[in-house]
Chain A
Amino acid sequence: MQDQWLASPWLLPAMVAGGLVALGLLAVVLWTPVYKHIICLKYLFCGWKAVVPMVSALPAALGVFLLILVFAIMDGFVAETREMTRGTLADIIVDAHMEGIPYYDDFVRQIESIDGVQAATPIVQTYAVMRLKPRFAGIKPLVRPCILIGIRPAEKAEMGRFHEYLERQRGAGYPAANVLTVPQFLRPKSEPPHPGCIGGIGLIGTPMPRWVEETVQAGAEWRVLLAFMTAVALVTFLFVWQASRRHPGRRLWRMARLAWAGAAVALALEATFIPVVPTRIERKEVVDVPLVDYGADIVVSTIPVRPSGALEVEAGGIPKVSSRVLTLVDTFKMGYWEADSTNVYVNFATAQQMAGMEAQPASEGRPAVPARASQIQVKTANPARAADIVRKIEDAWRAFVRERPEAGLLPVSVNTWQTQQRMILTLVVVERNVTAVMLGLMFLGFGILVALISYVMAYIKSRDVGILKAVGARDVGVGSLFLGYGFIIGAIGTAGGLAAALLTLHYLDPIEIWVNSTLGIDVFPREMYYFDHIPQHLSPEWCVAVCVGVLALSTVASIIGGVLAALKQPVEALRYE
């Protein structure tokens, strides 16, 4: 996503526009009369009354912190879930379900000739039942429903990251084309060879708790805590410093100022230099333990479906069951539970036979039936253009059917992987948007708070307004002083929230482990979410949008105080008691 963002043709114009806006704002600030800056800062940091605007910056800080943190984690979920689902699928899926696509190799070639398509491969997919004998003594054979998927391994490797999810054959040492081949060391000489299969870890295994070793950044949690304490000490120092100016020469205030300055420096030094070292720890985790070893035989049964849609039946009308013994050559774990707990991969030809999709010669007056595939998976050069290519494939299919009427009027659906997996992706996106709305309400509260504070400030500082105008300050200038006041409250909240969010995201996993081990709260059960770390994807655009939004909101909310001050007649304001 970040690469797309960096490659966007809008990046340079956006950066230029952003730079110009920033320069314009800087010029406005620099050419603003200095009294506004000085008085605004006095209002913000002068005495204990200044606690009010500081406290009102807290909702902004909290909102920015939560929006950036929650969105980074949810975007991380979406991004990693997308990567995982894409790993088993492809950019585009042409699906004919159980009816099957005839002459699929011809259509694959047509698809591959479309501009923007990198590769295409046929897939057979059918429902099945798997039976396996666990390696543990005393456990009866298990029967589980599954989905049998026939692939051409070399072609499938080009579709996505399938190869990376394999447990045994992961890495460059295992050619993608041979992942379903049963190696010699897994094949007993006495037995006839069976086709190889790869089973999902959730299908082949069972969840069991165990202790796992993990490397964590020990000390990181203290660094984060100290950084937050430094920020608090700094803000307190500012107040004490300002308050001490009202009591010049008072020893107690001088000492308090020194004490808080010392505390802030000491905490900052401690936060900077506290050792953060990689440490190996053991933590309890629930993992899927395979119930059978590699090389074990697994029986998979399917019910073949004829091109007409009818089930193949035996004498007596009983559906014919096609059972094959397969040898487990590998397991895969992609982290997407639906796939990990149901999918069994075999080679394409075997799956075709088991699903009844193999070619059948003409016999007894019946015409020959061509071989079929239930899906064609397509890899595009640029996934962002997948929707365009979907339309071209649909056109190509219509043309293909016209040229090959024997293919029949088959309802084929062509979808991008996102459309096909929309349920899971939409769920996370909807959750994210609901969170945004809820946090947006928090910002609404912040806006109302700033508006009220700005109004009250302009009201209680009426005499100051009168004095400034009597000395020659312009109405607009005095009004903008209160806008600046609101802007600075927003800026303090934004800076605090952004810094806290970035720091927390940087040390997210150590913090989570610390919370788990210290407080006993399992914030992120890995077996539930199926990730071995908390996923995160920090979007710079989102950070900029949140920060600019909060700054704009706080400025706009303080317009009420600005207008009140600007419209106040100096004579009226001076009479204010």
Chain B
Amino acid sequence: MSEAILQAQGLTKDYWMGASRLRVLQGVTLKAARGEFLCILGPSGSGKSTLLHLLGLLDRPTEGSVIFEGQDAFSKPKRWRDRMRNEAIGFVFQFYYLMPDLSVLENTLLPAMIRTPLVKWPLAKRRHRQRASQVLADLGLAERANHLPQELSGGERQRAALARALVHHPRILFADEPTGNLDTVTGAEIMRVLARLNKKGGLTVVMVTHDERVAEQADRVLHLRDGRLLHGA
């Protein structure tokens, strides 16, 4: 196994419902190797999304640590985690989460717009637009670049979300039920894209899903039940 890009050690996450505590994750430990396609399979309510949010540095664990590229992410300042999400991590969500007021191209440019100050934008814009257009073309969305998300089909929206996740050459891609909201054909198409990115581009993919057929695409599958991994990481 090649070097680990991501490690989770004893991840625990509690939510408080008034005075009562709800433990969603209970000491999850796992590793993802660079270039691996890792799938976390589990039924609804097993804590998949919560785990993905912790691994993607979107949320802070109650206990445990996340080691991203050798760095303990939650002992670093929040600014570092923000920068990692902007430069090294890509996210694809079940409900696409595209900004409705921005066109597909603008949504794809979002990571670049977040790290580029206004003063540098006129010079950088052309380069970023070229890259975004290229990613959209690769995903078959060249004609839809200037459309708003609500004018797109479900599959197109997910591909637009994927374009946004890939535009900045992330080192790891987190996918949260990427086919959960799509029909079988469109879902299969998205999975083919993810597999291609992993096999040809060497992109590390960590996906959570409840669909065993979708999980078949992965190199390795981990089963999550009631906040615990059933098989060893």
Binding site for B on A (CB under 8 A): 29-35, 37-39, 42-43, 46-47, 245-246, 248, 463-464, 466-475, 477, 569-571, 574
Contact = CB atoms under 8 A, between A and B. Distances in A.
A467 B102 CA distance: 12
B85 A471 contact: yes
Contacts of B91: 470-471
Contacts of B121: 34
Contact of B118 (A37, A46, A473): A37
B118 A33 contact: yes
A472 B115 contact: yes
Interface stretch (B105-113, B196-204, B205-213): B105-113
Contacts of A35: 110, 113-114
Nearest to B128: A34
B117 A472 contact: no
Contacts of A37: 118
Q: Which of B84, B117, B151 has the most CB of A within 10 A?
A: B117
Nearest to A30: B119
B115 A33 contact: yes
B169 interface: no
Interface stretch (B32-40, B93-101, B182-190): B93-101
B119 A31 contact: yes
Contacts of B102: 38-39, 42
Nearest to B87: A472
A471 B114 contact: yes
B125 to A, nearest CB: 8
A574 B97 contact: yes
Contacts of B23: none
B102 to A, nearest CB: 7
A471 B118 contact: no
A30 B117 CA distance: 7
Given A38-B106, A470-B97, A571 B58 contact: yes
- Determine chain B's interface SS by DSSP, over half rule: helix
Contact of A463 (B58, B97, B114, B115): B97
Centre residue among A46, A47, A463, A471 by max chain B CB count within 10 A: A471
B114 A473 contact: yes
Contacts of A29: 118
A33 B17 CA distance: 37
Nearest to B164: A471
Contacts, number: 93
A456 to B, nearest CB: 16
B101 A32 contact: no
A555 to B, nearest CB: 18
Given A46-B101, A248-B146, A569-B59, A472 B83 contact: yes
B227 to A, nearest CB: 16
Contacts of B5: none
B147 interface: yes
B116 A34 contact: yes
Contacts of A472: 82-87, 111, 114-115
Given A38-B106, A471-B111, A474-B82, A31 B59 contact: no
B115 A574 contact: no
Contacts of A33: 113-118
A30 B118 contact: yes
26 contacts: A30-B117, A32-B118, A33-B115, A33-B118, A34-B117, A35-B110, A38-B106, A38-B113, A42-B101, A43-B101, A248-B146, A467-B98, A469-B58, A469-B82, A470-B58, A471-B111, A471-B114, A471-B164, A472-B83, A472-B84, A472-B87, A472-B115, A473-B86, A475-B78, A569-B59, A574-B97
B131 interface: no
Nearest to A575: B49
The listed residue with most A CB atoms (<10 A of its CB), out of B56, B93, B101, B110, is B101
A114 B100 CA distance: 76
Contacts of A570: 58-59
Nearest to A475: B78
Nearest to A466: B97
Nearest to B161: A467
A43 B99 CA distance: 11
B163 to A, nearest CB: 12
Contact of A468 (B53, B114, B116): B114
Interchain residue pairs A-B with the least CB separation, the first 6: A472-B86, A35-B113, A30-B119, A42-B101, A472-B85, A34-B121
A466 B176 CA distance: 15
B109 to A, nearest CB: 9
Nearest to A574: B97
A31 B120 CA distance: 8
Given A39-B102, A470-B85, A472-B82, 20 more contacts: A30-B117, A31-B117, A31-B118, A34-B116, A34-B117, A35-B114, A37-B118, A38-B113, A46-B101, A245-B148, A246-B148, A246-B151, A248-B147, A464-B99, A464-B101, A468-B99, A472-B114, A472-B115, A475-B78, A570-B59
B79 interface: yes
Contacts of A246: 148, 151
Contacts of B113: 33-35, 38
B101 to A, nearest CB: 4
A30 B146 CA distance: 26
Contacts of B97: 463, 466-467, 470, 574
A571 B164 CA distance: 18
A431 B83 CA distance: 57
A245 to B, nearest CB: 8
Interface string B53-70: 100101100000000000
A475 B79 CA distance: 9
Contacts of B82: 469, 472-474
Q: Which residue, A31, A464, A467, A569, has most C-beta atoms of chain B within 10 A?
A: A467
A463 B98 CA distance: 9
A13 B151 CA distance: 56
A513 B216 CA distance: 84
B149 to A, nearest CB: 11
A463 B95 CA distance: 11
Contacts of B98: 467
A39 B99 contact: yes
Given A38-B113, A571-B58, A474 B79 contact: yes
Contacts of B83: 472
Contacts of A34: 113, 116-118, 121
Nearest to A470: B91
A477 B110 CA distance: 14
Contacts of B147: 248
Contacts of B118: 29-34, 37
A569 B103 CA distance: 25
Nearest to A477: B114
A35 B111 CA distance: 9
A571 B53 contact: yes
A33 B120 CA distance: 9
A361 B53 CA distance: 110
A29 B121 CA distance: 12
A185 B85 CA distance: 99
B1 to A, nearest CB: 29
Contacts of A463: 97
A471 B170 CA distance: 11
